Amino acid sequence: MNAPDPTPATLQQAALDYHQFPKPGKLGTAITKPVDSPDDLSLAYSPGVAEPVLEIRKDAEAAYRYTAKGNLVAVISNGTAVLGLGDCGALAGKPVMEGKAVLFKKFADIDVFDIEVDATAPGDFIDTVARIAPTFGGINLEDIAAPACFEIERALIERCDIPVFHDDQHGTAIVLCAGLLNALELQGKRLEDARIVCLGAGAAGIASMRLALDLGARRENLLLVDRKGVIHTAREDYAGLNAEKREFAAEPSERRTLAGALAGADVFIGLSGPDLVRDEWLMLMNERPLVFALSNPVPEILPEVALKVRSDLIMATGRSDYPNQVNNVLCFPFLFRGALDVRARVINRDMKIAAVRALAALAREAVPAEVLAAYRLKSLAFGPEYIIPKPLDPRLRSVVAPAVACAAVDSGVARLNLSEPVSTPTA
């Protein structure tokens, strides 16, 4: 007999105990060179440390040879949009940033410093991050509220010569679009023909729509919906909308509400909040629809509710207890691994598209026995309940990272070619 599911109170205490014992937090540092003798000490610090200092002073690229910069990512937040908890402040966001660091190390062997910046004004945050950027090989922005996150990322990409990536935007978009491509094919549809409705006009929603366009979706087939309904050019508040929302404003039509937008739609993408979609609205969608209800932990509509009214749909959520979990861990460790391996200056459009296509292709491959064992499954194959890989698939690193690295080289943003040696972990 299986043990009963833990109660919320039990889970809460287990989470607190996990973070507190046997020592607080989830991170530590490790020494990578011997420091066991007087000779070791003289090399690790004075006088030996002067030699790499002088080399780096002559050539900044030497920092990749003599320091940990090339395999070090900063996970940085101001705590203004922590998970689904809202503006918790910089310090309260630290457990999430530590958790992100653990995932980087576990899945891609990337070292991380988590940095919590007590600055809500975009200019202050940008200046702080730009000034510390030389320490790192890449910067992962996290849990920063929209619309400030767009300005922050854009400014830091311009000011830094290392990859700057806001995972809440692009990590979500990459995994979502990989699933979208596969699900559309299974439903006998094409992205360029699909009518797509996105509920949620924040960081993830905007980035996902931009990436869908890059992959071939048509702007006239996209409707973006926020709390006040469909975003269109005749809306009373149009002039006051941020530039990102206006970018996706539709021409005026009778489609003003979410229900109206869903009429005749092929795809619903939810990046908003719990229980915002009524089951009867799904009946308005085209045959063989896609429903990506990604609000977490409570989706816009639960799979069991959606499938009761539309047995012909393909469903994805952000939860691990349903099929087709859209989980950013499928992307960001391997995207950065590929970028770091060729010392990319940025993470560009080509690299994101390469990650999308690599993830989509991997879901079509036979699933290894170790993945089945990890998820206690007897079988798993490409189909309506398996449109994106599982997070514990060990092939992700060997598939996604090289695809991203190749795209960086081919698009001219890499400092190294793939044939050049890289002094970062490869095992």
Residues labelled as active-site residues: 45, 100
Which of 110, 80, 116 is CA-nearest to residue 97? 116
Instruction: Give me 160's structure tokens.
Output: 């830094």
Q: How many angstroms separate the CA atoms of 349 and 357, rounded?
A: 12
- Neighbouring CB atoms inside 10 A of 294's CB total 26
Both tokens of 45, joined, read 């610090």
- Tokens 């299974």, residue? 186
Q: Two tokens at 48?
A: 């030996």
For residue 383, the cross-strand partners are 386
374: three-class secondary structure by DSSP:
helix
- Going by their DSSP bridges, the two strands 314-317 and 290-293 should be labelled as parallel
Q: Could you tell me the CA-to-CA distances from 281 to 35, 195, 243, 265, 307 in Å, in that order? A: 66, 15, 30, 11, 13
Q: How many CB atoms lie within 10 A of CB 324?
A: 22
Q: Is the peptide bond before 297 cis (omega within 30 degrees of 0)?
A: yes
β-bridge mates for residue 72, sequence order: 111
Is residue 110 within a helix (H) or strand (E), and if so which, with residue range? none
